[in-house]
Each structure stands twice: as C-alpha cells, then as structure tokens.
Amino acid sequence: MNEHVEFEASIPSKLYEDFGLQDKIVQLMERFSYSVRDVFAVRLAVEEGVANAIRHGNRFDESKLVRITCRIDDSKLRMEISDQGAGFELGAVPDPTQANFIERPTGRGLLLLREYMDRFEYADGGRCLILERERNSLLPVMQG
C-alpha cells in the first residue's frame, strides 16, 4: 500500500481563531509533492468549508464543534468537514453569478468549492462536506 497520512481535528465554532489547520494540510501536500495550484485550491477550500460550517452550519454556537478529517497520499487528498447544525438543501442555494445576486457581498463559497475540487458533495443532510482533489489536478477549468 502507498504511504498515506490521516488525521482528524475538532475545532470550536469561532471564525477568528487560527487553528493551524491550513498550514498542517499544506505541509502534508508539500511532503507528497502536490502542485502550487493544488495548494492554492486546498487553502481556499479549507477556508470556505470551515467558515461555512461555523457560520451557516453551527451558526457561531461555540458549544458546537466542526470536525475535520483528512487523508492524503500521493494521488489524492480527501477531506470531510462536518458541523452539528440543522443541515441545508444544496439546490436551494442561489447561483451567485446571476444578475440578482452578483453584487451581494456573500454566497460565493460553494461556487468556489465546486470549481476547485474534483469531488464536492454534501452528505448527512448538508452537515458533512466531502471534498477531494487529485494531485496535480488541472481544476479550475477556465474559459477563454
């Protein structure tokens, strides 16, 4: 079996705390020779995924935790980001690029996650975000 690393962390629902999560994941990505493009995508994804779990999932309730699991090897990084909130319906979230929404200051995190990750889906009624990025992925695909 190829070498792999797994870890799990639980963090309180505080947006202003730096728990070192991104740096820990980036260090692992560098160890497995992921590209600069991969690192950019995953930093963005961790920030957006955790912020969504704290803000929209746990609604800043500091008694609730966000649980992150991560598994990485030389072909793929997989993360699950789970909150303890009420869940949500992904299809009910408006497209932030539509004219009615484009000038709103919020609502772009899910779009970025979808574009930068090879796998993006919600399980457990919207409480568990599953993200995967392959090593040296070419995402995001840019037009023109």
Residues 6+ apart with CB under 8 A from 49: 79, 81, 109, 113, 129, 131
- 26 by Cβ neighbours in 10 Å (0-12 / 13-18 / 19+) ranks as middle
User: Does 3 help bind other proteins (rule: CB under 8 A)?
Assistant: no
Binding segment for other proteins (CB under 8 A), chosen from 2-10, 82-90, 109-117, 119-127, is 109-117
Piece in contact with other proteins (CB under 8 A), picked from 4-12, 47-55, 69-77, 119-127: 47-55
Q: Count Cβ atoms below 10 Å from residue 101 Cβ, excluding itself.
A: 13
Nearest to 81 by CA among 64, 69, 93: 69
Residue closer to other proteins (CB basis): 28 or 41? 41
Q: Kindly state the smallest distance separating residue 2's Cβ from other proteins, in Å.
A: 28
Residue 59-98 contact track with other proteins, rule CB under 8 A, x = bound = -------------------------------------xx-
The number of residues that bind other proteins (CB under 8 A) is 27
65 pairs with which residues across the strands?
A: 12
Residue 37 in the binding site for other proteins (CB under 8 A): yes
What residues line the site for other proteins (CB under 8 A)? 15-16, 18, 22, 37, 40, 43-44, 47-48, 51, 96-97, 102-109, 111-112, 115, 140, 142-143
